[in-house]
Structures are given as structure tokens and as C-alpha cells.
């Protein structure tokens, strides 16, 4: 069996958990042997991922759990809803699952966020394990305990902080990932460079071809490095009252794109990639970074195949949607802004400057 490539510890104030990163991890019972609080397990997945990997995971869990069940949800961001959440609760209640039942989220960000939220709510909290199968989920959404579903007016507006007890990132699942999904995941990889690590940004720029070509060593490094960077930030700000908010670089614009077009029209990573272009432009217009640095990020984001020009939305609609952002205060817009290479902060921005960025992007 393949050894674990990396083990990253997420150190929180009162507890810690591990992120296991490697190949052939999903089918190994020892990846999950310490994840049992009781005898029952519920694996939540979607139709697409379940057909590829559910049997392997169920088999790996059977030596540890006496009862293992599978729930398959529809595939897509548009199903990150109350209705899907209710299906998880229905499965748990109808099988008389108790507080020691462990949930396993097998899939991408939608499955991970929704399953984590279900785990946070069921009987006021049960344990869950993230088993991310997309690049975006492996480098970002599976780590840190932010769980949620969408509301028609806004992305991830209903949720809770609920940390997993383990993350098992099997790099072999990236072999079956559609190229569009791989590219979308690279947005969340790129994000870490401008906000926290200039050397990593240079590494990404040098290794674009390897990442797009699914070079195994390059992907393994990108996942492990991203997880280490996120773990270091989450460890000092678990509930996003301060520094953790910088992880939302590009997300204020990005979430507005997703909600404005309808969830699922653009992938989350595509919206975030474009959002980072706009946020870098906003930072430059605010006098915080050199315009050449914003242009550099724009080139990198374009080079991996992410959109750099936003969809056509009325300026008024942009502002309405961004006022719903979780960083906003009393309706005032706040953005993650770059204030140097490898450095970011959260701050208010005048409406006229935001409008200038939006309207200039249409030219």
C-alpha cells in the first residue's frame, strides 16, 4: 500500500485533528480506524462521486463500523439547499442514528459543506470526516470547519463552524476529476500566494504546466502546501474574527457572480478566480499595491484557464449582492485587499471605487 505522503496537523485552541494526504488512502481501513465514536457510519456523497469511490470507502469502513450506510445526493452547486440537508436528516433519523454516529463527506465542496452542516445540527452535533475528491475541496473547503448551505440570495449564508475529526485527501481521486473542475480548484491554490506566501506564488507560476498536466508530484506539493498554509491561519483564528478572513480573497466578488448568475452556472473556483482579478485591481486602485503586481496576478489566473472578465451584471445588482457578504458591516462593503506581496487585510472600500472596478472590467 502507498504510504501517507503528508500529515498536516490542524492545531486549535482546545483540540487538534489531522489532514492525511497521499495516494490509495481512501481504500485503506487504517485511514479511518480512529474515526469511530460508535458503531454507525453514514457516507454522504453525490451520484457522480459515489459511482467512482463509494464502494472503496464503504469497504474500508466496515472493519471499524458495524453498520455503514450510503446516501447519494444529486450532483451540483444548485443542490446545496435545505432540501438536500433534509435528506441527510431523514437518513439519520429513519435509521435511528445516535450522537455517536460518524458522518463521512465523500465528494467536493458542496458535499463537504452540506455534510458538515448536517453533522453540526443533528442532535446538536455529531462527528464527521471529510473525504474530499476535488482539488478545490482538498486545498480549501474540507479544512477549517466552515460548513453551510446556500440561500437563493447568497452563497453559504446559512451554516455553522463545526470542525471535522479528520480529513483524508486521497490524491488518486484527482485522476478522474474533469479538467474544468481541476482548473477551478487551482483558483484556491493560487489564492494562498498573494495573501500569505510569495515563494509559493512563484512556485505556482513556474509549475502551471505541470499542474494542468496533472503531474503527480506537483499536485501533491500544491495540496500539502495549501493545507499547511490554511491550517496555520485557522489555528490562530478558528471562528474568523480576525486574520482568517483573508482566506476570502476574491470571494466577495466571486460569491456575487455565483448568486447573480444562479448557483452552478459558474463553478465556485471560476468565480473566485475572476474575483481575485477584481480584488487585486481594487487593491491597486486603493493605492495598496503596485498595478504591475495586480497585472501579474491577472496573467497567472488567465494562464491556468480561469476567467478574468466578469459576467455582465448591472452595477446596482453587484452592490446588492455584495452587501450580503458576511464581511459587510451595517451594509458597508468590506473586502480582502492586498497590501503588499504575500500580505492581505480586510477593510472598508468606498462604493465609488468598487463601482469603478466593476465598470472598468466591462471595457
Catalytic residues: 124, 146, 188, 230, 240, 244, 248, 251, 255, 268
Give the integer Cα–Cα distance in Å for 70 and 5.
Answer: 28
Strands (E), the chain: 4-11, 16-22, 40-46, 67-73, 102-107, 128-132, 146-151, 154-161, 166-170, 334-340, 343-348
d(CA 280, CA 89) in angstroms, rounded, equals 41
What do you get for the CA distance between the two ends of the chain, in Å?
A: 54
For the CA atoms of the chain, what is the radius of gyration?
Answer: 20
Under DSSP, the state recorded for 160 is E
Determine phi and psi for 344, rounding to 5 degrees. -145, 160
Nearest 5°: the CA angle 266, 271, 273 is: 135
Q: Of the candidates 64, 44, 35, which has an alpha carbon nearest to the alpha carbon of residue 119?
A: 44
Q: Are 106 and 43 in contact (CB under 8 A)?
A: yes
3-state SS string for 47-62: HHHHHHHHHHHHHHHC
Strands 4-11 and 16-22, sheet pairing: antiparallel
Which residues, 6+ apart, have CB-to-CB distance to 221 below 8 Å?
Answer: 203
3-state helix/strand/coil string of 77-119: HHHCCHHHHHHHHHHHHHCCCCCCCEEEEEECHHHHHHHHHHH
Instruction: Give buried/exposed letters for 272-310 (b at 16+ CB in 10 A, else e).
Output: bbbbbbbbbbbbbbbebbeeebbebbbebbebbbbbbeb
CA atoms within 13 A on the CB side of 324: 20
Amino acid at each position: 500500500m502507498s504510504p501517507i505522503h503528508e500529515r498536516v496537523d490542524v492545531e486549535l485552541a482546545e483540540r487538534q485533528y489531522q489532514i492525511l494526504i497521499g495516494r490509495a488512502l481512501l481504500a485503506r481501513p487504517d485511514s479511518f480506524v480512529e474515526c469511530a465514536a460508535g458503531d454507525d457510519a453514514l457516507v454522504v456523497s453525490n451520484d457522480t462521486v459515489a459511482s467512482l469511490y463509494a464502494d472503496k470507502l464503504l469497504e474500508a469502513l466496515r472493519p471499524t463500523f458495524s453498520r455503514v450506510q450510503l446516501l447519494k445526493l444529486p450532483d451540483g452547486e444548485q443542490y446545496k439547499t435545505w432540501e438536500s440537508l433534509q435528506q441527510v436528516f431523514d437518513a439519520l433519523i429513519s435509521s435511528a442514528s445516535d450522537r455517536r454516529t460518524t458522518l463521512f463527506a465523500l465528494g467536493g465542496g458542496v458535499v463537504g459543506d452540506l455534510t458538515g452542516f448536517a453533522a453540526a445540527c443533528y442532535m446538536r452535533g455529531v462527528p464527521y470526516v471529510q473525504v474530499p475528491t476535488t482539488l478545490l475541496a482538498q486545498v480549501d473547503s474540507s479544512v477549517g470547519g466552515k460548513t453551510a448551505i446556500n440561500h437563493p440570495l447568497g452563497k453559504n449564508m446559512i451554516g455553522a463552524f463545526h470542525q471535522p475529526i479528520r480529513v483524508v485527501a486521497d490524491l488518486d481521486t484527482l485522476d478522474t476529476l474533469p479538467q474544468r473542475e481541476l482548473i477551478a480548484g487551482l483558483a484556491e491554490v493560487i489564492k494562498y500566494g498573494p495573501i500569505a506566501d510569495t515563494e509559493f506564488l512563484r512556485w505556482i507560476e513556474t509549475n502551471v504546466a505541470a499542474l494542468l498536466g496533472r503531474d503527480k508530484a506537483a499536485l501533491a506539493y500544491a495540496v500539502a502546501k495549501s493545507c499547511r498554509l490554511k491550517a496555520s491561519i485557522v489555528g490562530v483564528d478558528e471562528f474568523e474574527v480576525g486574520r482568517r478572513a483573508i482566506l476570502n480573497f476574491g470571494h466577495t466578488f466571486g460569491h456575487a457572480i455565483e448568486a447573480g448568475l444562479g448557483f452552478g452556472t459558474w463553478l465556485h473556483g471560476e468565480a473566485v478566480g475572476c474575483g481575485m482579478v477584481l480584488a487585486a485591481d481594487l487593491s491597486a486602485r486603493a493605492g495598496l499595491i503596485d498595478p504591475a503586481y495586480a497585472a501579474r496576478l491577472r496573467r497567472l489566473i488567465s494562464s491556468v484557464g480561469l476567467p478574468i472578465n466578469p459576467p455582465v451584471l448591472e452595477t446596482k445588482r453587484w452592490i446588492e449582492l455584495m452587501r450580503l457578504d458576511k464581511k459587510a458591516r451595517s451594509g458597508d462593503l468590506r473586502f480582502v485587499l492586498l497590501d503588499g506581496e504575500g500580505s492581505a487585510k480586510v477593510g472598508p472600500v468606498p462604493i465609488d471605487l468598487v463601482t469603478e472596478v466593476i465598470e472598468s472590467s466591462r471595457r
